[in-house]
Amino acid sequence: MTEIDIGAIEKLAGNLNRQTRGPGGVIGVMHEGRVVLRHAWGHADPKAHRAMTTGTRLPICSISKQFTCGVLIDLVADPESLAGPLAQLLPNLETRRPTVAELCHNQSGLRDYWALTVLYGADAEGVFRREDAAPLFARMRDTHFAPGTRYSYSNGNFRILSDLIEEKAGRSLGELYRDRIFSKAGMETAELIPDTSQQVDGVVGFEGNDATGYFPATNRIYWSGDAGISASLDDMLAWEAFIDRTRDDADGLYRRLSAPQTFSDGNRAPYGFGVSHETISGVAVTGHGGALRGFRAHRMHAVNERLSVVVMFNHEANARDTAAAFLRAALGLKDEKPEAPAAGVDWAGQWLEAETGLLVTTAPSQAGVATTFAGGAEIVPATSATEARSPSMTMTREGDVLRFGRWRENLDGVARRVSGDARGDIAGRYHSPMIDAELEITGEGLVLHGYFEGFLGRGEMTPVLPVAEDLFVMPCRRSMDAPAPGDWTLRVRRSADCKIEGVDVGSWLARNVSYRKIG
């Protein structure tokens, strides 16, 4: 039996409104099947003076993915029995089609469809309808890695699962959630509400922060399978109670969802069936986070300690770190502080990684090396002038070569320092047969702008910034999904006589998209 410090978590909860500074939120902690903290603060809608309560439903965002997989494995004995319908959803895929299990484990290699909406010219504030997903998947011709070999977060995996499940059952996913999971777990008010333009229980999500102020977020996306569930804290604590109640059932739903998975080479995988695996201060936890414009959520479960934490905000504070802080406080664990960086280390540099085709940027910081590669910046403590290490990434410098390992993605990469001056001759129009979309670059010299265009529209003009010889980036700070893809790396391809043949475009969630110059 694990003892927990209830006083510590109550004190932490009392300070949350000052720490997160946002409009409102809820936090719940469960130990050995019993709720030991249920706390709500602030407002679901400050303008209407509507208080946040533990019964207020909020979008749980990507936490929905485990419920999608739960319906799948409860519905069919063998997920691969749906391989035939999967082929129909990916009719133009020319490389090896992923298995249904690889979709569930984020090992499909399919580029994230929300990142692809940028390349298809979608308006970040626009509408994405239910019927927009199928033509996007139908345009896919290859994967950005061989299925089963790597991990890459792809919301589209779970949207495809949603379609497969509904076709198999002949019923809506919302009905299946309710009948196969919500009713059994006692999640009385949880519901699939796929249209995010609908306000549930009068809740308003907010962008911004304490420094800039908060403003209502705009969402007009249809989610199904990858997100879309709205649930109260009471609903989510009922799910955690169900997990604890069925913990000794060898065929229990959460035991099957949270079973360890591997990659095709046998290496352990950090993710499976919509559930992420990590270690916090030495404690093994399973769970998932969620992000929608104006909302953040996270749940985590420590199976050996029989401890669960659920955090949901109607603003964009860090729900994962908040949940981890409550787990540590409950168990009396210290925060994991990074090692002090080695003195006199200069890690500034820009590097091009071969397999992903992405720019890696490193810069010294007080806590180590600020590394931008997989989306946002990560801090990797420098242990020497040539090595840096964090729980998720190791890096070794050898002159102009940067070698790194990222175990969660099963990726060992080699990046080379970039150099030389960019040329200002890349203006023109480019077409990608891989995704059936176009890129237009305008301007003179190195004062360049560009936009993406496709079946979803014509995107906004974005600066095309020079990095090195034949290497540029196009920043993307806003898109339909939250967070946005980040910088798109543009690598220019030239013929033997130096004429431009095309560009290869990529971000972490959508890599190596090839365009050829057409004008």
Splitting the chain (519 residues) into consecutive groups of 10 residues, what average pLDDT does each group show? 92 92 97 98 97 98 98 96 96 97 98 98 96 96 98 98 98 98 98 92 95 94 96 98 97 97 98 97 97 97 98 97 97 76 70 97 86 87 88 92 96 96 96 97 96 98 97 96 94 97 98 97
Residue 269 in tokens: 């995988």
Tally Cβ neighbours within 10 Å of residue 76.
16
Q: At what angle do helices 64-75 and 155-169 cross, to 10 degrees?
A: 40
User: What class is the 22-109+145-331 domain?
Assistant: alpha beta
Q: What are phi and psi of 146, to 5 degrees?
A: -65, 130
Q: In this structure, which topology does domain 428-517 adopt according to CATH? A: Lipocalin (2.40.128)
Q: Classify residue 306 as left (phi > 0), alpha (psi -120 to 50) or beta.
A: left
Nearest to 236 by CA among 172, 191, 174, 293: 191
Residue 238 in tokens: 């009922």
Active site amino acids: 62, 65
Angstrom distance (rounded) from CA 60 to CA 81: 29
CATH code for 349-417?
2.40.128.50
Residue 54 in tokens: 């533990």
Do 22-109+145-331 and 428-517 come out as alike in CATH topology? no
Please give the C-alpha separations between residue 187 and each of 164, 209, 239, 241, in angstroms, as whole numbers. 24, 32, 7, 10
DSSP 346-409: ---EEEEETTT--EEEEEEETTEEEEESSSSEEEE-BSSSSEEE-SS-EEEEETTEEEEEEGGG
Nearest to 515 by CA among 357, 350, 339, 340: 357
The structural domains of the chain, with segments of one domain joined by +, span 22-109+145-331, 349-417, 428-517
User: Helix or strand or coil: residue 298?
Assistant: strand
The predicted pLDDT at position 337 comes to 65
The predicted pLDDT at position 341 comes to 52
